[in-house]
Amino acid sequence: MTQCRSHLIRRTILVAVLGLAATGCSSYYVVKDLNRDKTYYATEIHRASGTLRFVDAKTGATVTIKESEVREISQAEFNKDLVQN
């Protein structure tokens, strides 16, 4: 019985890991700076004390802005927009 349970646990873990690998864990964002009318793309954003901080995917620069509009987008849209802009 113990061997069967161990096998079931290993199989469940394997299925969970493969599921995460297949779907990916990244998020993609388009960030609009409302004060400068500028658009950025990022894969990770941090909010603190009324500001938004992220790394601009196009330039690699760390950007901090106060007034922004953030929208999560698909990886395909992220890649397409990053190349076009």
3-state secondary structure 51-80: EEEEECCCCCCEEEECCEEEEEECHHHHHH
Residue 6 has pLDDT above 90, yes or no: no
4 band by pLDDT with thresholds 50, 70 and 90: low
* 1 has pLDDT over 70: no
pLDDT at 19: 43
What is this structure's pTM? 0.68
What would the pLDDT profile of 18-75 be if each residue is shown by its tens digit?
Answer: 444 444 578 999 999 999 989 999 999 999 998 999 999 999 999 999 999 999 999 9
Residue type, 27: S
Which residues make beta-bridge pairs with 53?
46, 64
**Which of 24, 40, 26, 28 has its CA nearest to residue 78?**
28
